[in-house]
Structure 1
Amino acid sequence: MGVMWLNEVQHFACSRYTRIHISIISPTVFFNKEKSYQKALRADPSYKLAAECLAIVLTDLGTSLKLVGSVQEGIQKYYEALKIDPHYAPAYYNLGVVYSEMMQFDVALNCYEKAALERPMYAEAYCNMGVIYKNRGELESAIACYERCLAVSPNFEIAKNNMAIALTDLGTKVKLEGDINQGVAYYKKALYYNWHYADAMYNLGVAYGEMLKFDMAIVFYELAFHFNPQCAEACNNLGVIYKDRDNLDKAVECYQLALSIKPNFSQSLNNIGVVYTVQGKMDIAASLIEKAIIANPTYAEAYNNLGVLYRDAGNISLAIDAYEQCLKIDPDSRNAGQNRLLAMNYINEGHDDKLFEAHRDWGKRFMRLYSQYTSWENLKDPERPLVIGYVSPDFFTHSVSYFIEAPLVHHDNENFKLVVYSAVVKADAKTIKFKEKVIKKGGIWRDVYGIDEKKVASMVREDKVDILVELTGHTANNKLGMMACRPAPVQVTWIGYPNTTGLPTIDYRITDSLVDPPDTEQKHVEELVRLPECFLCYTPSPEAGPVPTTPALSSGFITFGSFNNLAKITPKVLQVWARILCSVPNSRLVVKCKPFCCDSVRKRFLLTLEQLGLEPLRVDLLPLILLNHDHMQAYSLMDIRPVHD
């Protein structure tokens, strides 16, 4: 989700007139006074007090004329005042106000500067100079003007507010330039001048979120909303944090609050749709994401999320259409580009060149975003241990973790040094266990979540990794950007993706002869390295428990089952399943999948099987099981399940 900056309210200091309630005094009154003082000066040109009073009256007359719409006549009177008294600061100041209103800012600045020169304590002049500089984007100059203003008038509230606005803008500017710590310092300084300035609080929330200091981000988003109850953006960003922390109910609450403020707020419509997708509530999720697109037809990421929804619901064709619509709007969308490739695996099945060409073309485009290293400082010493690096976001209770645990634990530490780059979003007990085992065996564990991929590539070079193995491919939270930099002389892909990455910087793909037979027609940009027998090494979960007695012995019938996402259960797979069950009398099918909490998804799935000859009464559909222990225990419901789970 992109950061949304709030509209600021910029204040000009009000014109400081030389008489009270001048706006309700008729210009006629000042014309009469002008005549009186001019008459006095004609009688005695050296009458200094009369000259001073005439300058005041002419200035007041100019303001009175301006307020009734005679702007040019007003300007003329200001200049007449200065002709009588060239040192009369309010005339310069009011000229500055008029020229500011006429958007002649260079002239206005000159007038304000002259006013301040004649009256060094003229706080309003400094303040309005600051406004002009701020609106020009010259934030340091604006801040200097506000500082001069507050030096002579410390309690000038408009100047303090404007200072807070300028400091907040400067904080955002330096943050976007890469100095996030200085940005935070400016935001905090803004709150010194205006302790209830919600924009500064909001932007502190954004900054702390980018720094992964989410507890601090929550505090400042809540403060921003407290001081500005119309700040839907703060509510939205709170929802993002809670969603990433798996507090989905709280996330929904925040998004709903944002939408109560801004009903057509496309980001919150999209984000709440994402949460409902995660929960398997596909119908309401689709409705909300579609509303986000209606509210903002160029909202590329909403199309990507709609694609994810369709993929999870098993509608791959619609998913690919949505990803491609996203890419039309944003050709560089990494999420949509990679999600499209992943989805194509489910329908192309690797039997034609289209799938390979899509990966290869993506890789060529993606490579242009990164500079590649062409030399490495690794010592070419055959006696030293080789440094092997592994990078993945899946070193937690994730399917990949069951296949990487054994390699991490059983590395030959005498001949190989292990470095793990963990991009895990939310560590769990398994992450901690992996880290402890790697370090105990002399390896290095680096947490790289949230770190720019180019910086991670630099870390790999500093660690002098010889062989870098990525375990994700085009699945979520991958580090292919780092691999595109080629930080290691030899780069490999393994385990997490069933196809080529398409990246020319990845040299090898580890597989076996069963998954990729030697005579396979499927193409790869990598060279295939086929391990003997099997390219995977499975470590069972301790939560799985002992293998139970087969249910068929007590039930009297065979139960087939699959716990998987619907994208993998293609029409061809369903045809095979239906044929098997129809050939085994009284057998049943149990399928567990997140979207089965949605009635429309359940009905469509059962209807498809019924059309293939399998009665719906023989099928049990289970929704997502949240706890891994309960998920593992649910396998005891089945006698036979396909190994592609």
Structure 2
Amino acid sequence: MSELDRAAQLHREGRLDEALAVYAQLRDRDPASPETAFRMALVHAQRNDLAAANESLRAAVTIGDDARFRLLEGDLLERSGDVKGAIAALRKALALNGQLAPAHARLAFLLHDAGEVDAALAHFEAAAKLNPGDVRARSNLAGACESAGSAALGAGRVTLAHALLRRATEADPHRASSWVRLAAAAQHLGLIDESIDAYEQAEALDPPDAAQVGSARLVALHYDPRRTSNEVCDAHRAWAKRHAPSVPAPAFRNRRDVTRRLRIGYLSPRFHESSLTSLLAPVLQAHDRAEVEVRCYAHQDLEDTDTRRYRELSDAWVDVRSLDDAALARRMRDDEVDIAVDLAGHTPGSRIAAFSQRLAPVSVAWLDYFDTTGLEAVDYLLTDEGHSPEADTQPFVEELVRLPRLRYCFEPPAFAPAVEPPPCTRGGTDIVLGSFNRMAKISAATLKAWSLALHQVPNARLVIKNSALGHDEDRATFAQRFRDHGIDPARVEWRGYSSHADMLAEYNGIDIVLDTFPYTGGITTLEALWMGRPVVTLRGQTLISRQGAALLSAASLDELIAHDAKSYAQIVAGLASDPARLAGLSKDLRERMKASPILDAAGMARTLEQTYRNLWNRWLDRSASTT
């Protein structure tokens, strides 16, 4: 064994002082050897003696440059805090040897941290290709693609995000978080099959947040018109069996009294600025405190002006972020909540799994979800005849309670601008159709109906507004879908994100609003009506696909409800041919809404209070019969 090999052996064994002594002897005998100086620098670096390491490395580089020397130089500069110098050294290393995978990998991380995302991805890709069997290299590439894809998604560049997140899952298919983010990006692009598949891939990896991933998949199923209601219900049941199996009901201490004030526990992750506020806050404000005590159980990090409003409207405000499901159940049982009301279902941040622990004698699902929870521990789901007619065959795990009015009410935004006459009555030669719904809602069936309407109304153009349409590459994706239906994309105007107030003002530039299906609009439809614009919808066979029709019926606009794509297009064409009717609607829709159940918060509160009382009395009767 040569002296150089013996020193290397000592180095590998961690006998650094001995290795350094041998290297020093070799250097003294042959001071012109760059290899000896380089290896001495490696030992000094391992001993964290950066000054000595730099001195030896300078000696090596002076004698003869090498990519390995520059790789070590990059490491030493990075450790000393000179990131720019480290990047320059690593680039020199790759100029000397472009096949040096560790240099690509380290440079990729530094560039990523410096915000040079595209360059970083190229080097992560190179590192993975140079070592196809290196799990760490592929994991690094996946992590970088996921990070960049998430950033692109946050910036509204959905097509770019989708491509990056696909690369992430290809590089490391065992990374659940990449699949979840890919599912979200695909959903933004209306690629529902891919979104559902990505959620399923993530679930199969059984990540720590598997329950949340499963809930996201359940929501995504509602965007797919091919899914039967039985299939969707079975998926909810399967989620509950896996993530929220029921436990035996405990002995509740609640005072059994038919007439006393009831304690209602509302549980939500969205007691802040969100669409929920316009539906829930007016009800809490209108609740009769002689009938109900309102307790809000909040699972959220965000606090804003809406949160302060909710606090003021609550008799008790309970922050439950730190409580797991069992602790949350104990807290609500200790508080002697009579009726626990879930306001989130399987939407993001939900605590629906906690209901399996029996939070209260009576559990109710209401408002911010549109299907069964899947949990046998949730006793009732509040709906109405418009959303769930008596002859409905959609299956639910819960018992349906059909309210004698619309299942929710609406508080229009205080900042909504005044309604202006439709543009077709203000000298416009075109009919302007519009949709401000999420892109995921624009199903293939919806696109077909819209295209039929555009064919029937040759002077119509369509405005599609969504935060996913802020960049050219995103618009190009959807433009092709219209081409496939024979519609010139020039007839479609794409608009991206704006403030809520500005978005409402944009309705004044629309003549007719087009709803989506099978996932129909809720708040979007209500706001369009408040801005004096008729909404054309198609009634489906499930709660969520009947939502648009239920809202229009409540506003006495049943003539705007279609039963198939052909009748949908005919309704649009009929409105487009009657500017006088559009002008009349713009004048009286607000008054029509004020006179309807839609804006009747007091009526909604009284209905809920009577319903809560009935459900409480049912429980009293059952508990009396079992004791």
TM class by shorter chain equals 0.5 to 0.7
Q: Which amino acid aligns with 2:147?
A: N
Q: Which amino acid aligns with 2:250?
A: T
1:284-295 equivalences under 5 Å are 284-295=160-171
Aligned pair in 2 of structure 1 residues 16, 279: CA closer, same or farther (>3 Å)?
A: closer
Question: Displacement, 1:380?
Answer: 1.0
Contact 2:148 2:164 in 1 (8 A): yes
| Distance in 1 of aligned mates of 2:490 and 2:264 | 52
- Is residue 2:217 matched to residue 1:340? yes
1:238-637 equivalences under 5 Å are 263=124, 264=140, 266-330=142-206, 333-348=210-225, 351-368=228-245, 373-436=249-312, 438-439=313-314, 443-449=315-321, 451-554=323-426, 555-625=428-498, 627-637=499-509
Contact 2:117 2:148 in 1 (8 A): no
| Distance in 1 of aligned mates of 2:477 and 2:451 | 15
CA offsets, 1:103-160, max 9 Å, x none? xxxxxxxxxxxxxxxxxxxxxxxxxxxxxxxxxxxxxxxxxxxxxxxxxxxxxx9xxx
Alignment correspondent of 2:571? none
Q: Which amino acid aligns with 1:492?
A: V
| Distance in 2 of aligned mates of 1:404 and 1:458 | 25
| Distance in 2 of aligned mates of 1:607 and 1:282 | 16
Contact 1:406 1:539 in 2 (8 A): yes
Contact 2:157 2:474 in 1 (8 A): no
| Structure with greater Cα Rg | 1
Q: Which amino acid aligns with 2:464?
A: V
Contact 1:311 1:319 in 2 (8 A): yes
Alignment correspondent of 2:30? none
Contact 1:454 1:481 in 2 (8 A): no
Aligned pair in 2 of structure 1 residues 624, 294: CA closer, same or farther (>3 Å)?
A: same
Q: Which has the higher contact order (CA 8 A, sep 6+)?
A: 2
Q: Which amino acid aligns with 2:258?
A: P
Question: Displacement, 1:386?
Answer: 0.5
| Distance in 2 of aligned mates of 1:505 and 1:357 | 16
The number of residues matched between the two structures is: 408
| Distance in 2 of aligned mates of 1:254 and 1:372 | 54
Contact 1:348 1:355 in 2 (8 A): no
- 561-570 or 396-405, larger mean C-alpha shift: 396-405
Contact 1:323 1:336 in 2 (8 A): yes
Q: Which runs of 5+ in 1 are unaligned?
A: 1-11, 26-156, 158-223, 231-251
Contact 2:329 2:359 in 1 (8 A): yes
Q: Secondary structure at the match of 1:561?
A: strand
| Distance in 1 of aligned mates of 2:150 and 2:211 | 18
Question: Displacement, 1:528?
Answer: 1.0
1:14-25 equivalences under 5 Å are none
| Distance in 2 of aligned mates of 1:434 and 1:567 | 30
Question: Displacement, 1:265?
Answer: 5.6
Alignment correspondent of 2:585? none
Aligned pair in 2 of structure 1 residues 265, 615: CA closer, same or farther (>3 Å)?
A: closer
Q: What is the percentage of aligned positions where both structures have the same residue?
A: 30
Q: TM-score, normalised by structure 1?
A: 0.57
Q: Secondary structure at the match of 2:149?
A: helix
Q: Secondary structure at the match of 1:403?
A: helix
| Distance in 2 of aligned mates of 1:447 and 1:289 | 35
Contact 1:390 1:468 in 2 (8 A): yes
Aligned pair in 2 of structure 1 residues 412, 514: CA closer, same or farther (>3 Å)?
A: same
Contact 1:258 1:268 in 2 (8 A): no
CA offsets, 1:482-514, max 9 Å, x none? 222221111111122221111111111111111
Question: Displacement, 1:353?
Answer: 1.7
Contact 1:323 1:337 in 2 (8 A): yes
Question: Displacement, 1:551?
Answer: 2.2
Alignment correspondent of 1:212? none
1:66-145 equivalences under 5 Å are none
Q: Which amino acid aligns with 2:297?
A: Y
Question: Displacement, 1:431?
Answer: 1.9
Aligned pair in 2 of structure 1 residues 393, 255: CA closer, same or farther (>3 Å)?
A: farther
| Distance in 1 of aligned mates of 2:370 and 2:290 | 32
Contact 1:269 1:292 in 2 (8 A): yes
Q: Considering only aligned residues, what root-mean-square deviation do their CA atoms show, in Å?
A: 3.4
| Distance in 1 of aligned mates of 2:484 and 2:478 | 10
| Distance in 1 of aligned mates of 2:147 and 2:473 | 22
| Distance in 1 of aligned mates of 2:118 and 2:248 | 43
Question: Displacement, 1:469?
Answer: 1.0
Q: Which amino acid aligns with 2:283?
A: P
Aligned pair in 2 of structure 1 residues 541, 14: CA closer, same or farther (>3 Å)?
A: same
Q: Which amino acid aligns with 1:527?
A: E
| Distance in 2 of aligned mates of 1:463 and 1:360 | 29
Q: Secondary structure at the match of 1:544?
A: coil
